Amino acid sequence: MSKRRDPFAALGDPTRRSILDLLRVRDTATAGEIAAQFPSVTRAAVSKHLRVLRESGLVHAREQGREWQYSLDAAALGEMYVHWLSNFAPLWEESLQRLKRQAEE
């Protein structure tokens, strides 16, 4: 059993964020289908990215026959939002209010 990785560290890589975007619009995808979307990245590198995402809890992997099906774990992203990103919501609201005042002037 591997140690759980930091999901924020996993999101630090643009390829991993792109994989999450892909899984956001597709319910599931195999490693081969995901790798096909990244022609400039080797299949082995995509597998490593998927392992990091899986170990950070951002994706689920389910064996189906000879292939693995990957899917987004929206609950993990929600947890990240609730426990950290929501702390910044007042700042966003304040910025929107400031923008509104400037636009009205």
Which H or E run includes 69?
strand 67-72
SS3 assignment, position 105: coil
Residue 91 forms part of a structural domain: yes
Give all strands of the β-sheet with 67-72 in edge-to-edge order: 29-30, 67-72, 59-64
Residue 67 forms part of a structural domain: yes
Instruction: Residue 95: give the domain boundaries.
Output: 7-104
Q: Any idea what the CATH number is for the domain that residue 12 is in?
A: 1.10.10.10
Q: pTM for this structure? A: 0.75
Residue 49 forms part of a structural domain: yes
Residue 63 forms part of a structural domain: yes
Residue 96 forms part of a structural domain: yes
Residue 1 forms part of a structural domain: no
User: How big is the CA angle at 94 (ends 93 and 97), to the nearest 5 degrees?
Assistant: 85
Number of domains in the chain: 1
Burial class (CB in 10 A: 0-12, 13-18, 19+), 26: middle
**pLDDT tens digits, the chain, 105 residues: what are they?**
456 788 888 999 999 999 999 999 998 999 999 999 999 999 999 999 999 999 999 999 999 899 999 999 988 887 877 777 777 778 777 888 888 888 888
Residue 62 forms part of a structural domain: yes
Write the CB contacts of 36 (distance below 8 Å, at least 6 apart in sequence).
none
